Structure 1
Amino acid sequence: MPPEQHASPRVVWVTGASSGIGMATAHACARRGDRLVLSSRAQAPLEEVARQCRALGAADVVVAPLDIADDGAVRRAAADAVRRWGRLDVVVQNAGVAAYGRVDEVPPEVLEGVLRTNVLGAAFVAAEAVRTFRAQGEGTLVVVGSVLGRVTVPWMGAYNATKFALRGLVRTMQQENRDVPGIRISLVAPGGVDTPIYDQSATVLGRRNRPPYPVSSPEHVAEKVLRAADRSAPAHRELDAGWANPAMKAAYALAPGLFDLLSRPAMRALGFARGQRPVGPGNVLSPQPHEEGLRQRR
């Protein structure tokens, strides 16, 4: 499908743009000539993504390093974009962190950090996007969630909780903004995706994590994000990115006992790789620029 064409470039703000799905989304937007605001906590990798986006054809690129859990920084980034270009057309809320371990074993500061970024930070970005869109009368918010907002798996309780919360947040905001027909809000829910989040996540298990089969590419998820942001196409409340997602959701809903019975051996077989990782907070409490990239390191 050819990219959506515009008489003038869209203004697109992507959070978590220095790595994985956010980086792939920034690249895809650059190829269609958008103007970009790129945000993450890791400035040096973010500058490199901005350089790549300019080379790929972005009309203009601004780097806005921030922590999405800082509401003031979020508001300033949106206001700066509007001052620079007069509007903000699309906001892609993608930034997020993860932790591996039984909920009772995850350190409180790590548990709080995952909740703060994935729920509170995402809510700050979504709220500022909607405030801006309501003032303009139009705009598109795309929130990157997860199939783990529909099903649960062992040793990812903190992440699971945030993705369930995120889906509820998006669904509520869809209801609240029906009075402004120009505002579109969508959730994109990937399954396993080959990104560095598995190397960057906090862990108390000491095992190397990996995306469970079947694994999508970050570019595939970015295609779903662009589809959700395409105003020439029908609006989507929620888009899956992963062919196994519907089967997982059906099994979870229709056979919960069997799903729970199989979840631990399945997670052991599919969610961990050979090798060890140091126990620690990963990038939950502070960024790890050396781990940023498009895909997980082999």
Structure 2
Amino acid sequence: MEPVEPVAWNGGEEGAGLVAEQGKVVVITGASSGVGRACARRFASRGWSVVLAARRTAELEEVAAACRKHRGARALVVPTDVTDAEAVEHLARRAVTAFGRIDVWVNNASVAAFGSLDEIPPAVFRRVLDVDVMGYAHGARAALGVMREQGDGTLINVSSVVGAAVVPYNIPYVISKAAVRALSGSLRQELRLAGQHGVHVCTVLPSTMDTPFFRSAANYSGRKVLPMAPVYTAERAARTVLRLTRRPRRETYVGPAGRLLGIQSKLAPGLVERLLARQMDRSHLSRKEPAAPTSGNVLRPLPEAAAVSGGWHGRRRTAVRRLAVATLAVGAVLATGRRARCGCGRR
């Protein structure tokens, strides 16, 4: 295999700890757009060597070119379908051959299908689970195989807030993100029992992200998919992922709304289910704009240009939405308190 040479620094970001991070290696799946693309740029800005995986080669090359502009950063493109276990093992081997090790592996590649259970075709339903669950399992197997030999490393599994607080009309994605949390927990137990204390497994639960995700998803609901407020930038998720490489944690949310929702779902699961069902029906699926059935990017990549942003984020609009979510949260907490005092709803 051809060596991957560093390029001359052409500007880039600097900050505390930059030198200490240079030379570290990260593998990112789903790196062509959205959160994965933002993570690649964030790691490269710190001087990391980035190994970029997704189905679309041209888009990965664009990301790699941007990453190489940063001081000390090197980039390797490895087109990969994460549902193929052998392809994912090949991805790990390419990373080790090029850079000698894998310090961090970010399982991020995900697809989704909107619609009720009886509306989503079985083949599309199955493909979502193959990408979002088996793809993560293949990635974990490949990454941890390398990290166990090294004696250190961090596997970061990108789940979702819906893995903690379920929503309707997106069942295969919700199932998969709950499964990702379970996968991470089981892996942590196995590593602890094996005495692999230098290898960490972290789970990230993003709130709604401003990425092309909602336009790219399969949709059989008959209604246009809109992001559920509040919306956070993909760069915010990338900063969270990078922080976990320095201080690994079991789980961490991206965005205060997601963290609050996770707490509420533990305190009042029934109430949160009802509130999220209503919010999903009223605001996540448009009542005004119809949408033709589409498999989106589930079965095959879309020809559209990849990007980090989906064009959903706006500071003023997000501030208003955050206020609305906070108001809803206070109402939920007060309702829970009243139930607890009067003993209502006990079974």
Which of 173, 183, 207 pairs up with 2:199?
A: 183
Instruction: Using the TM superposition, name which of 131-140 and 263-272 deviates more.
Output: 263-272
Measured on the aligned residues, the alpha-carbon RMSD in Å equals: 1.7
1:90-141 deviations in Å (ceiling 9; x for gaps): 1111100011011122100000000000000111001110111011111111
The question of 1:224 aligning with 2:240 is answered yes
Deviation (angstroms), 1:185: 1.0
1:14 corresponds to which residue? 28
Counterpart secondary structure, 1:27: helix
2:315 corresponds to which residue? none
1:153 corresponds to which residue? 167
The question of 1:55 aligning with 2:65 is answered no
Amino acid at match of 1:192: T
Matches of 1:289 and 1:82, distance apart in 2:
31
Instruction: Using the TM superposition, name which of 263-272 and 116-125 deviates more.
Output: 263-272
Deviation (angstroms), 1:255: 2.7
2:140 corresponds to which residue? 126
- Runs of 4+ in structure 1 off by over 6 angstroms are none
Deviation (angstroms), 1:291: 4.9
The question of 1:199 aligning with 2:215 is answered yes
1:28 corresponds to which residue? 42
Unpaired runs of at least 5, structure 1: none
Amino acid at match of 2:257: A
Deviation (angstroms), 1:148: 0.8
Task: Give aligned-pair identity as a percent.
Answer: 38
Deviation (angstroms), 1:262: 2.6
Which of 265, 268, 271 pairs up with 1:258?
A: 271
The question of 1:108 aligning with 2:108 is answered no
The question of 1:140 aligning with 2:154 is answered yes
- 8 Å CA contact 2:28–2:105 kept in 1: the answer is yes
With over 3 angstroms needed to count, the CA separation of the structure-2 counterparts of 1:289 and 1:34, relative to structure 1, is farther
Count of aligned pairs between the two proteins: 295
Which of 269, 286, 297 pairs up with 2:300?
A: 286
1:173-226 deviations in Å (ceiling 9; x for gaps): 011112111101101110100111100100101322122111110000000100
The question of 1:84 aligning with 2:98 is answered yes
Instruction: Using the TM superposition, name which of 204-213 and 255-264 deviates more.
Output: 255-264
Matches of 1:216 and 1:133, distance apart in 2:
32
Counterpart secondary structure, 2:31: coil
Amino acid at match of 1:269: R
Q: Which has the higher contact order (CA 8 A, sep 6+)?
A: 1
Q: Tell me which structure has the larger Cα radius of gyration.
A: 2
Unpaired runs of at least 5, structure 2: 1-14, 313-347
- 8 Å CA contact 2:207–2:254 kept in 1: the answer is yes
Matches of 1:267 and 1:2, distance apart in 2:
42
With over 3 angstroms needed to count, the CA separation of the structure-2 counterparts of 1:7 and 1:241, relative to structure 1, is closer
